[in-house]
Amino acid sequence: MTQNILLTRNEGIATLTLNRPETLNSLSLDAIKALLQTLRELHADPSVRAMVITGAGRGFCAGWQLDESGVPGLPEESFGVRQAHLMAEYFNPVIQAFHELPFPSIAAVNGVCAGAGVSIALAADMVIAAESASFRLTFAPKLGLVPDLGATWKLPRLIGWARAQAVTLLGSPISALDAVQWGMIYRAVADGELRATAMELAAGLANGPSGVAREVRHAYHAAQLQSLAGQMDYERLRQRELLDSAAFQEGLRAFQEKRPANFHGAMP
């Protein structure tokens, strides 16, 4: 799509590649704008049924490009004020755009994944990583900052409070194998198998019912915010609508007829 973001579509699968390999795919202002625009375009594309996001070269994403000159604003505004504007306008909407995608997304993490790159990876529905990959939050020990783009919300829920506190304060790298063991990501695979594994998983997900990924994503998000009774009522109300959907009807027919469900194309 742009020099910063490469986008391909093939058989219902969109592959989005962060393309600044000379900087380990760090996020310049142009890059984050391009990422947000790409996610919004894919959201509106009914032909896309699954997405893979990965990085070009030796890394997935090294985080925000630390360059004050790349943060626009009024002359009297401080760097912090200007950066906060950018987070509200571009960075946070990127994470929200992942949350609203109607199709499932997979982050295929190759090499370095640091800072905001960790948040972008964890925004996907599923994260797989090359065995040589690592995740690192350098905000606190290196810069005196807190993690952002939702990392402080998501990381303790994935790996627990104690580990989240420790890796954030120490800035210690989390290996791909540890990330799997801790429940932070889904799988670690041999480096040479990362892309093929991601595409295989995406192909399976692309055959699922349209919109189901967003339903599952929103259901688990809602569960973090309310009581058991409240969540069961949420489930009841969603099932009330989904049981009347074309997807459920096709799934039910396929089960009764002992055949694979056909959620896309002409219904039988």
Kindly give, in sequence order, each residue whose CB lies less than 8 Å from that of residue 130, ignoring residues fewer than 6 positions away: 109, 110, 111, 176, 188, 189, 190, 191, 194
Domains of the chain in sequence order: 5-206 (3.90.226.10), 226-257 (no CATH)
Query: What's the pLDDT score for residue 67?
Result: 67
Separation of alpha carbons 210 and 179, rounded Å: 30
Separation of alpha carbons 227 and 223, rounded Å: 8
| pLDDT tens per residue across span 26-75 | 999 999 999 999 999 999 999 999 999 999 999 999 999 866 566 777 77
Measured at the alpha carbon of residue 108, what is the angle toward residues 265 and 161, in degrees to the nearest 5? Answer: 115
pTM: 0.92
Q: Calculate the CA dihedral of residues 94, 13, 15, 7 and round it to 10 degrees.
A: -80
Separation of alpha carbons 44 and 242, rounded Å: 21
Name the stretches of the chain with pLDDT < 50.
1, 266-268
